Structure formats: structure tokens, C-alpha cells
Structure 1
Amino acid sequence: MTVYAYRCPHCSEIEVTFRIGTAPAAVPCPDCGAASVRAFSAPMLARTPAAVAARLQRAERSASEPEVVTSLPRRRAGGAVAVHPATGRLPRP
């Protein structure tokens, strides 16, 4: 099923679900009954991978309510902390 957008001349935009290729040119508005014409828009063809979507949602939540750190980050298997070249000159504890 595909969601199609229709624009009522008196009310607002309406979203209606039809099978692909079966959407009519106009549907009656559920509020006022006027003929609502189909509004064309760009399709959403790209899908975001689940891992990327989870990171984006976490970043959005963190923007207004930062996450509180309760423990130190884990060390790598060898016991050494990875050193980034940009932070190599900073003092280490």
C-alpha cells in the first residue's frame, strides 16, 4: 500500500492509502466533502539503515538532554587506550 497526498481547497492536506497505480485523481474530503485533488511530491526512495537511524535518534535526544556518563570508557583488549593523533599532545592521567 502506498500513501498518496491530496489537497482540499477548503481544509488542509489529506493522506490516503491506495494500492500502487490505483489512486484516483480526486477524492472527497473527509471533513467538508469537497473534491480534493492529488498533490504530487518526491518519493521517499532512500531507506536509512537501522544502525544509522538509531545513532541519529540518539544524537537528536542528546541535543536537548545530554546523556550522563556514569562510568569510564572501556579499554581495548590489549589494555591500551586508543590515541588519536590530534589528541596525542594532551596530558594523560
Structure 2
Amino acid sequence: MTVYTYRCPHCSEIEAIFPIGTAPAAVPCPDCGAASARTFSAPMLTRTPTAVSTQLQRAERSASEPEVVTSLPRRRSGGAVALHPATGRLPRP
């Protein structure tokens, strides 16, 4: 089933669900009964990975609802140098 968008000339946009390839060119508006023409838009062919969408939602929420911290973050073991293999080749002071 696919969601199709129709625009009523008097009201607003309407979403209707039809099997692929069976959507009519116009449907009646549920509010006023006028013929609503089908609109075409770009399909959503890509999906955002779950980890990325979770972080994007978290960043959006933090603008209006910042997280409250009750304790200091724990320090990772291993000191100040990150445990990445490339950091072993860096010069030391």
C-alpha cells in the first residue's frame, strides 16, 4: 500500500492509501466533497540509519529540552591519550 497526496481546491492536502498503480487521478474531499487532484512529489527512496536518526532527534530535542546532568561524567581509563592506533605515532611532549 502506498500513500498518495491529493490537493483540494477549497481545503488542504489529503492523504489516501491505495495499492501501487491503482490510485485514481482525483478523489472526493472528505470535508467539502470537491474533486481533489492528485499531486506528485519525489519518492522517499532512502532511509536514514537508526543511529543517525536517533542522534538527529536528540539534537533537535536538546534545543528546547536540554538534558539535566546530575553528576559529572566518568573519566575513561587510559589517561588523556585516546586509544586509537594512529595516536601512537604522534610526537610526545
- Please give the per-residue CA displacement for 1:36-76, whole angstroms capped at 9, x wherever unaligned: 11001111111111111111111111111221222222333
- How many angstroms does 1:17 deviate by? 0.7
Structure 1 residue runs of 5 or longer lacking an equivalent are: 84-93
Say how many residue pairs are matched.
82
60-69 or 32-41, which deviates more: 60-69
TM-score normalised by the chain length of structure 2: 0.77
Spell out the pairing of 1:75-90 with structure 2 (5 A cutoff): 75-78=75-78, 80-82=79-81
Secondary structure of the residue aligned to 1:14 is strand
Q: Does 2:5 correspond to 1:13? A: no
Secondary structure of the residue aligned to 1:74 is coil
- How many angstroms does 1:82 deviate by? 4.5
Secondary structure of the residue aligned to 1:62 is helix
Partner of 2:61: 61
**Distance (whole Å) between structure 2 residues aligned to residue 82 and residue 69 of structure 1:** 25
CA RMSD of aligned residues (A): 1.6
